[in-house]
Amino acid sequence: MCGIVAYNGIRQTVPILIDSLKRLEYRGYDSAGIAVFNGNAVEVHKDKGRIVDLEKILPAISGTIGIGHTRWATQGRPNKVNAHPHTSGRIAVVHNGIIENYQQLRDWLTKSGYVFISETDTEVLAHLINHYYDNNLTDAVMTALKDIKGSYAVAVICGSELVAARKDSPLVIGIGEGENFVASDIPAILNYTRKVIFLDDLEVASIAQDHVSIFDTHKNAVQKTIHLIDLDIRDAEKSGYEHFMLKEIHEQPRAFHETLAGRISELEGIIKLDGLNLTEDEIKNMSRINMIACGTSFNAGLLGKYLFEQSTYTHIDVEIASEFRYAHSSPGSLVIVISQSGETADTLAALREAKSSGCMTLAITNVMGSTITREVDSVVYTRSGPEIGVAATKTFISQLCVLYLLSLYFGKVQGKINSDRMKRMLASLKQIPAQMTRILNNKELIKNYAQKFASSNDFFFIGRTFNYPIALEGALKLKEISYIHAEGYPAGELKHGPLALITKDVPVIAIATKGATYDKMVNNVKEVKARDAYVLAIADEKDNEIEKYVDAVIRVPATEEMFSPMLSTVVVQLISYYIAKARNCPIDQPRNLAKSVTVE
Ligand code: M6R
């Protein structure tokens, strides 16, 4: 989605804005622009297309204060006029979010004599700030924002003043020496500073070269904590890999290991989850649990349902966030929201709905300080490091890791998992990173199979129980990055309709690791083989039976049935990656998609 950067300091701003914008490219965008105060006036340069294209049209500009933006079109087409920054008089604005009452404001401002040139809602904000401007930019921004309904993260310049504000859209302020920064995403400014202030909703910041003042809606000064960000800049670089996605797939053993680290003792059979603010009594008496998420995080939640049901014998509901917010949630139940970014608008809206119904709330997320983490009762962090590729990979694995830990912990507290079983499960869980590495070492084989499928138009991924969410995830990955139509199905459901689509031209990936449903899975494989489909099975190393029924097999190390999804995940990710690569697709920035979806 859209990205914001801003700078006020002692250095030339253009190279800093461009470098920071490039670090936001992964979020997905269709146009980009900057505005710089050159000592006399604000110069704006923007265009449709990529940042490298913008760089080509930039004249030499001298100035030490500026704002920049990457736009992902929501209101108005992706073109030069609609690209940000938008201006009104001496004011220039970049904005993420949606102004819901923009039409009323536009009508009113038009009657007051302002002329609109774009189709965007953001231009309303530029004119509104100009309208209220009386030699104090902070006051003008504060007054203008009171008229706005909707969500925003904004950075505004007027002469040598820089002001930023947020509501329901992320924004951080980076603190430097004689220079300060604004960004919608920490990786944008990691090259310059690790000290950040997380702006809260409805706060407005006035950012000078040597100090930052933050105000609440009544213009009272707010004291904020400066956080030291412990991220490695290399996490936001490709480090020799052709794509971030491939790098992040390879980082999964480490991400999984980090997410486990310090949280388990397999010798004692103990799990300790920092950030989980639920008493043992609350866990024992828990009558209902809902998992809520979108996209890949939803697929993690669906696996979470199977895991919790297996460990606690309690029924769990899992729901798509954009639908849950219209559903009934019962007070006293636990709502677990899963979100890599912690900023997904649909998930945030569902969380707020759950809170207002009196539910207890717990987040599983990867981003410290994100909006969701600040609104829930408990947070258990995944520790994947920043994920840049639009397609979620390592964060999915870390989400699964947390769900395994949570479900086992709940089962133990509820007395449904004994100490011996717990020790055995934890010992197996610790083997997972090494087992993933074995699969990664075998990637050439997976690549060879994937290349066979590069010209297919349709695909099926099938699995049962624990493997069904991985079938969904495989199909989602393939759709996102290769643009091939793919379906993820519970294998037993094929005969109720989708089997009509199976022909020799439709490859089927059958996730057929050993477990309680293995025999039924083999029957489902036979059903698709009988319709001439090419079947590639993902199966255990020790399974000597499966090759009789399928065209090809990719082996994964044997583990506990409930842990095998993590290993199959690596395979379906690599299949999708290599198919997309063979089709020459822009893997890290697929069309129409954004890394963090901050609109509903
Ligand atoms: O940040 P979140 O986990 O809340 O994001 C949810 C989805 O937007 C996300 O998983 C999306 O489906 C990914 N592009 C999947 O690869």
DSSP-assigned letters across all residues of 12-80: -HHHHHHHHHHTTGGG--SEEEEEEE-SSSEEEEEEES-HHHHHHH------SEEEEEEE--SSS-SST
Quote the tokens at residue 21: 């914008």
Biggest CA–CA distance in the chain, Å, is: 79
Characterize the bridge pairing of strands 42-48 and 31-37: antiparallel
Q: Are 473 and 597 in contact (CB under 8 A)?
A: no
CA triple 358-336-227, angle to 5 deg: 100
214 and 260 inside one domain = no
Q: How confident is the model at residue 197 (pLDDT cuts 50, 70, 90)?
A: very high
Closest C-alpha to ligand 1, atom 9: 295
Dihedral sign from CA coordinates of 135, 139, 143, 148: positive
Q: Which one of 27, 294, 368 would you pick to mutate in the ligand 1 pocket, going by the greatest count of ligand atoms within 8 A of its CB?
A: 294
Mean pLDDT over residues 341-355, rounded? Answer: 93
Report the predicted TM-score, pTM, of the whole model to 2 decimal places. 0.80
Catalytic residues: 2, 595
Rounded distance from Cα 475 to ligand 1 centre (Å): 14
Which atom from ligand 1 is nearest to the alpha carbon of 341?
1
Rounded distance from Cα 473 to ligand 1 centre (Å): 11
Q: What is the pLDDT of residues 86-144, one digit of tens each?
A: 999 999 999 998 899 999 999 999 999 999 999 999 999 999 999 999 999 999 999 99
Which atom from ligand 1 is nearest to the alpha carbon of 390?
14
| Average pLDDT in the chain | 93
Q: How confident is the model at residue 1 (pLDDT cuts 50, 70, 90)?
A: low
189 and 116 inside one domain = yes
Mean pLDDT over residues 360-369, rounded? Answer: 93
Q: Is residue 554 part of a domain?
A: yes
408 and 461 inside one domain = no
Rounded distance from Cα 299 to ligand 1 centre (Å): 10
Q: Is residue 440 part of a domain?
A: yes
Q: Which one of 340, 371, 477, 589 would you pick to mutate in the ligand 1 pocket, going by the greatest count of ligand atoms within 8 A of its CB?
A: 340
Point out the domain boundary residue: 405, 430, 455: 430
Mean pLDDT over residues 222-231, rounded? Answer: 88
pLDDT value, residue 591: 86
The pairs formed by 548-552 with CB atoms below 8 angstroms and a separation of 24 or more are 549/522, 549/525, 550/510, 550/512, 550/525, 552/449
Buried b / exposed e across 32-59, counting CB within 10 Å, b at 16+? Answer: bbbbbbeeeebbbbbbbbbbeebbeeee
Q: What is the pLDDT of residues 35-77, one digit of tens each?
A: 999 999 999 999 998 899 999 999 999 999 999 999 988 778 8
pLDDT value, residue 597: 81
54 and 198 inside one domain = yes
Closest C-alpha to ligand 1, atom 4: 339
3-state SS assignment for residue 491 = helix
Q: Order of strands, edge to edge, in the sheet holding 334-339? A: 316-320, 289-293, 334-339, 360-365, 378-381
Which atom from ligand 1 is nearest to the alpha carbon of 346?
4
Closest C-alpha to ligand 1, atom 16: 391
Q: How many CA atoms lie within 13 A of 223 on its CB side?
A: 0
Q: Which one of 244, 319, 341 would you pick to mutate in the ligand 1 pocket, going by the greatest count of ligand atoms within 8 A of its CB?
A: 341
Closest C-alpha to ligand 1, atom 2: 339
245 and 360 inside one domain = yes
Q: Are 9 and 179 in contact (CB under 8 A)?
A: yes
The residue range of the domain holding 74 is 3-230
Q: Is the pLDDT of residue 183 over 90?
A: yes
Cα 118 to Cα 48: distance, rounded to the nearest angstrom: 13
Q: What is the DSSP code (8-state) at residue 221?
A: B
Quote the tokens at residue 484: 């091939």
Task: Return the closest-CA partner of residue 50 out of 73, 78, 29, 24.
Answer: 29
357 and 475 inside one domain = no
pLDDT value, residue 590: 87
Q: What is the DSSP code (8-state) at residue 99?
A: B
Closest C-alpha to ligand 1, atom 12: 295
Q: Which one of 169, 245, 291, 296 would you pick to mutate in the ligand 1 pocket, going by the greatest count of ligand atoms within 8 A of its CB?
A: 296
CA distances to 321, 347, 496, 595 from 352, rounded to whole Å, are 11, 9, 37, 22
pLDDT value, residue 578: 97
Rounded distance from Cα 221 to ligand 1 centre (Å): 36
- Count CB-CB contacts under 10 A for residue 380: 21
Characterize the bridge pairing of strands 227-228 and 212-215: unpaired
Closest C-alpha to ligand 1, atom 11: 295
Rounded distance from Cα 290 to ligand 1 centre (Å): 18
206 and 248 inside one domain = no
Q: Is residue 599 part of a domain?
A: no
DSSP-assigned letters across all residues of 140-195: HHHHHHHT--B-EEEEEEETTEEEEEEESS--EEEE-SS-EEEESSGGGTTTT-SE
| End-to-end C-alpha distance for the chain, whole angstroms | 12
Task: Return the closest-CA partner of residue 459 out of 475, 481, 483, 482.
Answer: 475
Whole-number percent of the chain with pLDDT over 90: 84
136 and 10 inside one domain = yes
CATH of the domain at 159: 3.60.20.10
Q: Is residue 597 part of a domain?
A: no
Point out the domain boundary residue: 167, 195, 230: 230
Q: Is the pLDDT of residue 25 over 90?
A: no
Q: Is residue 594 part of a domain?
A: no
452, exposed or middle or buried, with CB in 10 Å at 0-12, 13-18, 19+?
Answer: middle
Q: What is the pLDDT of residues 405-457, one digit of tens each?
A: 999 999 999 999 999 999 999 999 999 999 999 999 999 999 999 999 999 99
511 and 392 inside one domain = no
pLDDT value, residue 336: 97
Rounded distance from Cα 70 to ligand 1 centre (Å): 19
Rounded distance from Cα 134 to ligand 1 centre (Å): 43
pLDDT value, residue 273: 94
Phi, psi dihedral angles at 298 (to 5 degrees): -65, -45
Quote the tokens at residue 246: 């491939």
Which atom from ligand 1 is nearest to the alpha carbon of 596?
1
Cα 411 to Cα 312: distance, rounded to the nearest angstrom: 5
pLDDT value, residue 536: 97
Q: Is residue 593 part of a domain?
A: no
Rounded distance from Cα 370 to ligand 1 centre (Å): 15
Cα 318 to Cα 324: distance, rounded to the nearest angstrom: 9
Which protein residues are within 6 Å of ligand 1, measured from CB? 294-297, 339-341, 344, 347, 390-392, 480, 593, 596-597
600 vs 577: which has the higher pLDDT: 577
Q: Is residue 446 part of a domain?
A: yes
268 and 319 inside one domain = yes
Point out the domain boundary residue: 430, 460, 482: 430
Task: Return the closest-CA partner of residue 593 out of 433, 459, 440, 480.
Answer: 480
Which atom from ligand 1 is nearest to the alpha carbon of 595?
14
Quote the tokens at residue 144: 């203008």
Q: Are 490 and 468 in contact (CB under 8 A)?
A: yes
Number of domains in the chain: 3
Q: What is the DSSP code (8-state) at residue 229?
A: P
Q: What is the pLDDT of residues 524-562, one digit of tens each?
A: 999 999 999 999 999 999 899 999 999 999 999 999 999
94 and 127 inside one domain = yes
Q: What one-letter code names the amino acid at 381? A: Y
Q: Which one of 303, 371, 569, 597 would you pick to mutate in the ligand 1 pocket, going by the greatest count of ligand atoms within 8 A of its CB?
A: 597
Cα 362 to Cα 470: distance, rounded to the nearest angstrom: 23
3-state SS assignment for residue 545 = coil
Which atom from ligand 1 is nearest to the alpha carbon of 594?
14
Task: Return the closest-CA partner of residue 42 out of 155, 157, 140, 128.
Answer: 157
Q: 564-582 vs 394-413: helix axis angle to the nearest 10?
A: 170
Helix, strand and coil percent figures for the chain, each rounded to 5: 40, 20, 40
- Count CB-CB contacts under 10 A for residue 2: 29
CA trace torsion 441, 446, 451, 455 (10° rounding): -140
Q: Is residue 173 part of a domain?
A: yes
CATH of the domain at 343: 3.40.50.10490
Mean pLDDT over residues 350-372, rounded? Answer: 92
533 and 516 inside one domain = yes
DSSP-assigned letters across all residues of 387-415: --SSS--HHHHHHHHHHHHHHHHHHHHTT
Mean pLDDT over residues 229-251, rounded? Answer: 84
Rounded distance from Cα 596 to ligand 1 centre (Å): 7
CA triple 46-47-52, angle to 5 deg: 95
Rounded distance from Cα 396 to ligand 1 centre (Å): 9
